[in-house]
Amino acid sequence: MKRTILAAAAMSLASMAVAEQPASQSDVEARLDALERINVTAYKAPQADDTKDATVEAILQKADQAEHADTDADAPQ
Amino acid sequence: MATRHSLHNNAVRVVLAGLVLLYVGDIGASSRTYSFGTTDHYLTQATDYPRWAALVTRHAAQSVEIDACIDDATKCPKALKGYREVVLSGRDLSPARKIKLANRFINSRRWNIEPRRDDDWRTLEDFLQFGGDCEDYAIAKYFVLRRLGFAIDDLRIAITWDMRVQDYHAVTVVHLDDSVLVLDVDGPPRRQITDYRFLFSINESGIWDHKAGKRQHTDSHDVIQQGAQQL
């Protein structure tokens, strides 16, 4: 019985050790190369978020005013 | 005989203890996993990816100017004035509202498509000044949320294959209350992630390979997209 448990546990340990083994340096380099080759250029039109939150809206409004303050000051009277 | 029996018992104990340690270690490692329907395999440290490492370095250099702007509005270049308001007014919000604020603020920026051969990754400050494309939106949201107090471990930029537009796409992913939120350019934060095939994810500490997990845990119900297959 104990031998069976021991054998099963040893097999589990061995399989975990294989699963947890860090990728080899060449594997890492190959995957980094794959990542580097990706051109992330999908076009998706930015869309407004319809789930309005009054607190967030107030902050965004302040941000917008801060960004356009100079423009407004420069506008012809 | 007694000695042999005792050795046998000790061996069993050692093996079982090892199993327990591995199990506990695995729990620790998975406290911040981003399964995305795959298993995320830690690939390497973030500094091993030159494009990202250069961006983080440039962002750190620009942070001097950003910090000065946040401390004193008169030192803000025009591009950072709105950002200053977001940081000052947003830092005491709940995490859920911070996410919503960052997502909306960045999604209101200018889309500026780059030529495919010149697809540089922009820092937050460069993005606020010039706009950018999808990965620049994702990077900008990442750094806004970092400034608003989110830990590195709670944020990643995910490189995906987007099923809807059939192209490579980048999104920001945030851990909130043991669930994962995807911040995309086309709407509010979402929990629905089936539109994306996750390939890699990155934060300031590491790079994770989701395709490696896919190879080991193939789900026969998934449709493998041509673009993703190339990886």
CA atoms within 13 A on the CB side of B224: 9
Helix/strand/coil for A41: coil
- For residue B162, give the CATH number of its domain: 3.10.620.30
Q: Is residue B142 part of a domain?
A: yes
**A2 with B8: Cβ contact below 8 A:** yes
Pairing state between β B167-176 and B155-162 = antiparallel
pLDDT grade, residue B12 (50/70/90)? low
With tokens 């494309």, the residue in question is: B133
Cβ atoms of B180 and B34 closer than 8 Å:
yes
Host domain of residue B80: 35-229
Residue B53 lies in a domain: yes
Please judge whether B116 and A41 are an interchain contact, meaning their C-beta atoms are less than 8 angstroms apart.
yes
pLDDT-derived band at A77 (thresholds 50, 70, 90) equals: very low
Q: What is the pLDDT of residue A10?
A: 65
Q: Name residue B175's beta-bridge partners.
A: B180
Indicate if the pLDDT at residue A16 is higher than 70: no
pTM over 0.80: no
Contact B185 A13 (CB under 8 A): no
Q: Name the residue in chain B with its Cα closest to that of A34.
A: B231
Of B16, B78, B135, the CB nearest to A40: B135
Closest listed residue to residue B137, CA positions, set B92, B187, B94 = B187
Please indicate if any CB of chain A lies within 8 Å of the CB of B93.
Answer: yes
B63-111 per-position pLDDT tens digit = 999 999 999 999 999 999 999 999 999 999 999 999 999 999 999 888 8
Model confidence pLDDT, tens digit, residues B123-161: 999 999 988 888 999 999 999 999 999 999 999 999 999
Q: How far is B221 from chain A (nearest CA, A)?
A: 24
The reply to whether B164 falls in a domain is: yes
What is the pLDDT at residue B211? 78
* pLDDT interval class at B217 (50, 70, 90): very low
Please tell me which residue, A26 or A33, carries the higher pLDDT value: A33
* pLDDT on residue B160: 93
Q: With contacts defined as CB-CB under 8 Å, which chain A residues touch B41? A: 23
B46 lies within 8 A of chain A by CB: no
The distance between the two most distant Cα atoms of chain B, rounded to a whole number of Å, is 85
Q: Which of B10, B52, B101 to mutate to test the interface with A (most CBs of A within 10 A)?
A: B101
Contact between chains at B162 and A44 (C-beta distance less than 8 A)? yes
- Is residue B123 included in any domain, yes or no? yes
Q: What is the mean pLDDT of residues B36-53?
A: 85
What is the pLDDT averaged over residues A22-29?
A: 80
- CA distance linking residue A45 with residue A42, whole number of Å: 10
Residues A33, B115, B157, A32, Cα dihedral to 10°: 0
Angstrom distance (rounded) from CA A52 to CA B188? 10
Query: Are A64 and B89 a contacting pair at CB < 8 A?
Result: no
Taking residues B48-68, report their average pLDDT: 95
Confidence (pLDDT) at A69:
80
Q: Cα A36–B53–B157 angle (5° rounding)?
A: 70
Indicate yes or no: CB of B100 within 8 angstroms of CB of A67. Answer: no
Interface A-B: count of C-beta contacts within 8 A: 159
For residue B157, tell me if it sits in a domain: yes
Interface test with A, best of B185, B196, B198, B225 (most A CBs within 10 A): B185
Number of domains in chain B: 1
User: Does B20 map to a domain?
Assistant: no
Helix (H, G, I), strand (E, B) or coil at B194: coil
The secondary element (H helix, E strand) that includes residue B9 is helix B2-29
Q: Report whether A12 contacts B17 (CB < 8 A).
A: no
Provide, for chain A, the percentages of residues in helix, strand and coil under a 3-state DSSP scheme, each rounded to the nearest 5.
Answer: 70, 0, 30
